[in-house]
Copies of this chain bind each other. A is one copy, B any other.
Amino acid sequence: MKRNSRLSLALHTLSHMAGEPDRVRTSSDIADHAGTNPVVVRRVLGKLREAGLLTSEKGHAGGWRLARPPQNISLADVYLALDERLVASDEISEAPACSVEHALQKRVSGVLEEIEQSLVQKLGETSISEVRGA
């Protein structure tokens, strides 16, 4: 696949679903369309299910479905569901000796965190249906 594939796969799948919200889709179908395989699809969509964006049903005629109207699912919902933190680092900074150094590190982290937040806000301005729609 490519980089940022989880986010890309999630958006792709959700946008696709937004077109026919009532249709149930299997992991295999989705995997075929996305050029990947069913287990990867389940892994990614599982995250979206945990976040309440999708529902899944086992057994015969089971599969995936949107849990809410697509107008009501923002890109930020998806991003957060996947635990992506593209900008900020989930740092385990190994406590630098110097305290000035430590202060500076917190500065940098703080700035990146702000940028991360503004990214999420920006993502919140677009819904899945808009991705498909126009």
Contact = CB atoms under 8 A, between A and B. Distances in A.
A5 B2 CA distance: 20
Interface residues of A, number: 39
Contact of A112 (B4, B91, B96, B115): B4
Given A4-B112, A111-B11, A115-B119, A16 B90 contact: no
A115 B111 contact: no
B132 A4 contact: no
A24 B76 CA distance: 43
Interface string A1-39: 011110110011001100000000000000001010000
A61 interface: no
Contacts of A2: 89-93
